[in-house]
Amino acid sequence: MPEIAEVARVVHYLKKHLVGRTVAAVRAEEDDLLFGKVGTSASAFKTAMTGKKILDARQQGKYFWLVMESKPHPLMHLGMTGWIRFSNDDTSAYYRPKKEETDWPPRFSKFVLDLTGEPKCEVAFVDPRRLGRCRLIDAEADEMRKVSPLKENGPDPVIDKDILTVEWLMQLLRRKKVPVKALLLDQANISGIGNWVADEVMYQAKLHPEQYSNTFSDEQIKRLHDAIMYVCGTAVESLAESDKFPKGWLMKYRWDKGKKTGGKLPNGAKITFLTVGGRTSAVVPSVQKKTAAVAGDVSEGVSDESEEGEAEAKPKKSVKRKTKAEENGDAEEAGDTTTATRPKRGRKQIDYEVKDESDEGEEEAPVPKKQKTTTTSRKATPKKTASNPTKPSKGSSDGVYVKSEQADGRRRSGRTTK
């Protein structure tokens, strides 16, 4: 799914093609997920956007928004499969688009903005899985980050370097006791870090993703901080083009669980895959050593001094539920779910639910299929009572047992008297 770097690419192209232009017309269909789930409607969106001039495009983590000449301003999240496409520019995607994705208007488009001026340009929000969100924020442009949902999200590693310092990170890690990768994925802690970025950060910092956040030394936290800044900064600067990433980055070899690369780095180091925070995590054991307690070492629940507005991370029973993230939508590669498990006998393991995808990115629960039910019939055995101490035998004058058919087709045993 789009993370901090992919969203930065969207913002780059919005600045390139939209800023300074006026929205001439809006085409949008009512969508109870894209608009309705965050308290907006297609008609309200059309009214707010039509005839307005676009002054800027901005980002915080996985959120981005357009600064209009007057409020309200549209705040968007791409969810798992959302993207922004431009009628006059096919290079906006960070991957090579399929042939059918070059059609216009695009398939799965949720709204299309028709802009004034030259060259002719239309911009569309596309989302096959409908996990993206678009809402209107009735606040001044400079106050956007002070209102929900942005105010509930943590600092952005690229634009909030003055906040996300080593000391700040040290305090965050030591007041919690959760697997460190789960902490990084929680958007209430740090904005923009998703699954592949978190794996890259942990690899560059040479730390194990399962290790508890409050067990790291000062030197290890400094390495983690440097890795966060390095990975996020490099990825954003490259606009999510993986060909421009350093050759030694783990992300180039982690996809499909290493099937295409043999599960190894170019230097021969083996890549293993495990689940941390409900996500598939790529780990290089020869580099990422466990230096203290990890989630698999204990079976007791973990207390978490949660920040205001943050869900407490607790071990769950064997239940599958849709992932939540920053009120928007973040699981990994298509269709990820958070699985929390009860510790098993022998090797004890706990996964922690991560607040990475909130109700904004939450997928609708599937409708359960009707299951066939079968019933077995057997001859009933009467209970012993004072009046009926024994089961009557065939031909008994006390009565006989017969089988009868109920209206629903099931058989039942009953006793009839002569």
What CATH number is attached to the domain comprising 16? 3.20.190.10
Q: What is the pLDDT of residue 326?
A: 40
Considering the domain boundaries, does residue 408 fall inside one? no
90 and 41, same domain (yes or no) = yes
Single out the residue in 283, 312, 333 at which a domain terminates. 283
CATH of the domain at 175: 1.10.8.50
Window from 5-9, 285-289, 361-365 with minimum mean pLDDT: 361-365
Considering the domain boundaries, does residue 131 fall inside one? yes
Considering the domain boundaries, does residue 93 fall inside one? yes
Across 33-56, average pLDDT: 97
187 and 130, same domain (yes or no) = no
For residue 380, is pLDDT > 90?
Answer: no
Name the nearest CA neighbour of 202 among 192, 213, 187: 213
113 and 180, same domain (yes or no) = no
Q: Enter the tokens of residue 298.
A: 């204990």
CB 32 within 8 A of CB 263: no
Helix 166-174 / helix 218-237 crossing angle, nearest 10 deg: 120
SS3 133: strand
51 and 17, same domain (yes or no) = yes
For residue 362, is pLDDT > 60?
Answer: no
Considering the domain boundaries, does residue 120 fall inside one? yes
Considering the domain boundaries, does residue 383 fall inside one? no
42 and 142, same domain (yes or no) = yes
Considering the domain boundaries, does residue 236 fall inside one? yes
20 and 130, same domain (yes or no) = yes
pLDDT tens digits, 301-353: 333 333 333 333 333 343 344 444 444 444 333 333 333 334 444 444 444 44
Q: What is the pLDDT of residue 258?
A: 79
Considering the domain boundaries, does residue 272 fall inside one? yes
Q: What is the pLDDT of residue 292?
A: 94
133 and 26, same domain (yes or no) = yes
What is the Cα gyration radius of the chain? 28
35 and 137, same domain (yes or no) = yes
- Cα–Cα distance, 24 to 73 (Å, whole number): 16
Q: How many domains does the chain have?
A: 2
pLDDT tens digits, 184-203: 999 999 999 999 999 999 99
Peptide bond before residue 315 is cis, with ω within 30 degrees of 0: no
Q: Domain range spanning residue 203?
A: 166-283
Considering the domain boundaries, does residue 370 fall inside one? no
SS3 340: strand
Single out the residue in 283, 314, 348 at which a domain terminates. 283
65 and 134, same domain (yes or no) = yes
Single out the residue in 83, 111, 146 at which a domain terminates. 146
SS3 185: helix
- Cα–Cα distance, 216 to 240 (Å, whole number): 30
Q: Enter the tokens of residue 300.
A: 């007791």
pLDDT tens digits, 115-173: 999 999 999 999 999 999 999 999 999 999 999 999 999 999 999 999 999 999 999 99
142 and 10, same domain (yes or no) = yes
Q: What is the pLDDT of residue 101?
A: 62
170 and 139, same domain (yes or no) = no
pTM over 0.85: no
Name the nearest CA neighbour of 21 among 111, 114, 91: 114
184 and 234, same domain (yes or no) = yes
